[in-house]
Amino acid sequence: ETGVTQSPTHLIKTRGQQVTLRCSSQSGHNTVSWYQQALGQGPQFIFQYYREEENGRGNFPPRFSGLQFPNYSSELNVNALELDDSALYLCDISLGIYNEQFFGPGTRLTVL
C-alpha cells in the first residue's frame, strides 16, 4: 500500500486565477511526477521531482511550477489559469527513477 493522497478532490476556478494542488505519500518514495489528463486522453507528463529538485519537464509552459518537500510531499502550482487547463491532475510516486509507479486518485480542476 503506497498511500498516495491528493487534495483537493475537486476544484473550480475562473480564468486568470492561480491554483495549488497537493500530493502526499509514504516516506521513502523520493520521486514524484505530475501528469495532466484531459477528458478522453491519456495523461501527459508535466514534470518530475527527485529528492526535492526538478529532474525533468514535459512540454508545459513556465506557469506550471512545482515543489517537493523534505517529507516527499509535493505541490503543483498553476498561474494565470486558462480554460484548457481544465483536466484531471494526477501525481505519481516511485522509489527512485525507473521503478514501478503508483498514482494518486487525482484532482479534478475546472476552469470557467
101 binds other proteins (CB under 8 A): yes
40 binds other proteins (CB under 8 A): yes
83: phi then psi, degrees, rounded to nearest 5? -55, -40
Give the nearer residue to other proteins in terms of CB position, either 18 or 26: 26
Q: Strand, coil or helix: what is 85?
A: helix
Cell numbers for 68: 517537493
Give the nearer residue to other proteins in terms of CB position, either 16 or 28: 28
28 binds other proteins (CB under 8 A): no
Cell numbers for 2: 503506497
53 binds other proteins (CB under 8 A): no
Applying CB under 8 A, among 24, 35, 66, 78 the residue interacting with other proteins is 35
56 binds other proteins (CB under 8 A): yes
State how far the Cα of 54 lies from the Cα of 31, in Å rounded to an integer. Answer: 10
Binding to other proteins, residues 59-88 (CB under 8 A): 88
Question: Hey, how many other C-beta atoms are within 10 angstroms of the C-beta on 83?
Answer: 10
